[in-house]
A = this chain, B = another copy of it.
């Protein structure tokens, strides 16, 4: 079912799901609730994307314009504290994606001297299409020393195998990996930042921010309703991406199925993240003809080389052998496809007179061993674009299926 379907916008009466310190339904509609609150009857809120469903929102949801992605280290050894935090996160996520605060701003439970249960910077802002998507990294199952940290090592999916080294990668370990991740996407960055910050606040003592990335412009379309955006090389990107409307392809390439691996991941998806710095100053000095040969598309129209329209099928054998479009095309990769969901980023400058800018690549898939890994190896070894790329961060996360309702929480299929 399509994430945007109005029929999915059901009531999210999650308040009270084992939530300590998160205000319940009583706070809804109060003077401090941001935007129009979802009413008691569960009517839809303008601009809100349903939080519950068979799959997590934020995957096939048409890509919002802004990203705040965060990876956490779990700093507790206490499984119960971790599970309690996941329940608290779920309740807060249900509230925030519906355009509400994470918890009460004012006096909580008659304790006027308590810190507010919402940080406040999104008060008055609409839901802005916020989605929050959670994922579990390999290190949550077993740490670097091989210890089964939370009694879930046996449930680690084979598809969550450690990724190989890709030629050309210069990874910063502090910017890679993570035990947990949350992808916050919204059309207003303040709403995405607010959500991540409040989850970090709720997780105090249980998790610690490992790395975090803001993205300012989506680089892929995930729906036929969206125009194809441009990446920082100035080219249309994601023209041939999987689209939410392609239900059969989404089933085949995105969602883990029964029998694929452990049952708890059925309906989930595997996320690969990759921060790729682009050497844009060098790219900007290269001739247009060279840029187009490297990409395999025309810069202006976005059409495959030799074609006139963006959406024409490329004539793969006629493209330069080391062109990006040819190397990542399913025909060059045993039919492997992914749902890409990346964002442009600029992180200021690098102290050498250059902008520190590039692509924060994200791709969802059914099994990275058959999708991301072979495509990336093909690209790392041969793509002419590599001359202008410097991959600095890599992450892999198992994103569980969606939350079904008030008694469910992020990761219940794994922990319960």
Contact = CB atoms under 8 A, between A and B. Distances in A.
Contact of A214 (B121, B208, B235, B346): B346
Contact of A234 (B114, B119, B210, B289): B119
B197 A123 contact: no
Number of copies: 2
Nearest to A237: B121
Interface stretch (A153-161, A242-250, A352-360, A404-412): A352-360
A190 interface: yes
Contacts of A234: 105, 116, 118-121, 123
B213 A216 contact: no
A193 interface: yes
| Interface size grouping (class) on chain A | 35 or more
B288 A115 contact: yes
A294 to B, nearest CB: 13
A231 B121 contact: yes
Interface stretch (A7-15, A277-285, A376-384): A277-285
Interface string A253-294: 000000000000000000000000000110011111101000
A68 B209 contact: no
Contacts of A313: none
A32 B300 contact: yes
A112 interface: yes
The residue among A70, A123, A201, A349 with the most chain B CB atoms within 10 A of its own CB is A349
Contacts of A300: 31-32, 105-106, 123
A170 interface: no
Interface in A203-246: 204, 208-214, 216-217, 227, 229-235
A291 B116 CA distance: 10
B289 A105 contact: no
A47 interface: no
A217 to B, nearest CB: 4
Contacts of A230: 120-124, 190
A4 interface: no
Given A122-B230, A197-B232, A347-B348, 11 more contacts: A31-B300, A31-B301, A115-B285, A116-B299, A121-B230, A123-B230, A189-B216, A190-B217, A193-B346, A210-B349, A212-B355
Interface of A: 31-32, 66, 68, 70, 73, 75, 105-107, 112-116, 118-124, 174, 188-190, 193, 196-197, 200-201, 204, 208-214, 216-217, 227, 229-235, 280-281, 284-289, 291, 299-301, 344, 346-349, 351, 353-357
Task: Give me the 10 closest cross-chain CB pairs, A-B, nearest first.
Answer: A120-B234, A208-B353, A189-B216, A190-B217, A212-B349, A209-B349, A113-B287, A121-B230, A212-B348, A121-B234
26 contacts: A66-B216, A106-B300, A107-B288, A112-B288, A112-B289, A116-B234, A116-B284, A116-B288, A116-B291, A118-B234, A119-B234, A120-B230, A120-B235, A121-B217, A121-B231, A123-B230, A123-B234, A124-B230, A189-B217, A190-B217, A193-B346, A197-B232, A197-B280, A204-B285, A347-B347, A347-B348
